[in-house]
Amino acid sequence: MKQRTPVVINILIIIGLLIVFYYLFVQSYAFLGSPYFWGTVVIAAILAYIHSAIGDLIENNKFKKLSAEEKAAYLAEKKIPFLKRMYDAAFKKQSAAEEKDILIDHGFDGIMELDNQLPKWWVGLFYFGTAFCIVYISAYSFTNFAHPISEYEQEYKEQLASIAEYEASQPPITIESAKYSADNIAAGQEIFKTNCVTCHSEGGKGGIGPNLTDNFWHNQPEKTLFKNVFHVVENGVTGTAMQAWGKNGVLTGADIQNVAAYVYHINQEQPPITPAQGGAKPYGDEAHWEKE
């Protein structure tokens, strides 16, 4: 009569499997705080105890039918701790007498083959792998689990949320705190395309508005170019089509900082677009900016 697995071990295995299966479908460990998960654990534990109790009744009936020697051998084996018994079963070496019973009637070059049973831990891993494969394929087919596009979109949303949270916690950018950074040029270019090309044309070459790539400026309220652009975009120019983008609430301080970085870039870090190249004629006085 074979020894049975203790009910505690069965419950631990069931909990481990439930954690794996829940994670495959929920895709996070948030379920560990869910009453539904722990309710499933309690129900599974109760069923395991009921199964163990039924097994005890069957085992007792079988035990009564054993001979005295078989009863003694069974009780002696039962005293061996479960983990040690599993270890011995996994790495058991057959005696010569046992090998005769499992010897297969064929061989080659004097080498005989034994019909050994596979270790229980190996068989258990095989069954677990098979069950895991079925659940994994089901989760992949009918949920968003392990889909790279879904994972990317989720991480992208989380990243945008963290950026928004960070920006909300930061003080608003003003002309005093604004600083030029090459990292802001690309974002400033997108804002420029959306709001500024109508008057200043693509690349800032000028049209209705003045050419932003040359060194002639009609408005020079600040001593540095970057601060000057920030001031003009924020406050606008009275009597012209240049509205106060910042004061009107259309652009935030961060937006104006980005636009100022882009204008600074096309004015100081790129060659000017001359009238011969399609740029507007110089407008205003030649500027002598201080270094940033």
If you search the block for the tokens 């869910």, which residue do you land on? 34
The per-residue pLDDT for 255 is 95
Q: Are 55 and 4 in contact (CB under 8 A)?
A: yes
Residues 6+ apart with CB under 8 A from 145: 24, 25, 27, 136, 139
Q: Which of 232, 242, 165 is nearest to 200 (CA)?
A: 242
Task: Report d(CA 24, CA 146) in Å as an integer.
Answer: 9
Radius of gyration of the chain (CA): 39
pLDDT digits (tens, 9 = 90+) for 133-160: 988 888 888 877 777 888 888 889 999 9
Task: Report d(CA 244, CA 236) in Å as an integer.
Answer: 4
Confidence of residue 93 (pLDDT cuts 50, 70, 90): low
Q: Which of 4-13, 41-50, 113-122 is predicted most confidently?
A: 41-50
Task: Report d(CA 243, CA 272) in Å as an integer.
Answer: 25
**What's phi and psi for 181, nearest 5 deg?**
-145, 135
Q: Are 201 and 207 in contact (CB under 8 A)?
A: yes
Does 99 score more than 60 pLDDT? no
Residues 6+ apart with CB under 8 A from 237: 218, 219
CA 49 to chain centre: 39
Q: Which helix (H) or strand (E) holds 103?
A: strand 103-108
pLDDT digits (tens, 9 = 90+) for 218-259: 999 999 999 999 999 999 998 888 999 999 999 999 999 999
The per-residue pLDDT for 176 is 94
pLDDT digits (tens, 9 = 90+) for 32-74: 999 999 999 999 999 999 999 999 899 888 888 888 888 888 8
In angstroms, what CA-CA distances link 93 with 79, 100, 113, 251?
21, 13, 15, 80
CA 72 to chain centre: 57
Instruction: Average the pLDDT over 164-179 and give the result.
Output: 88
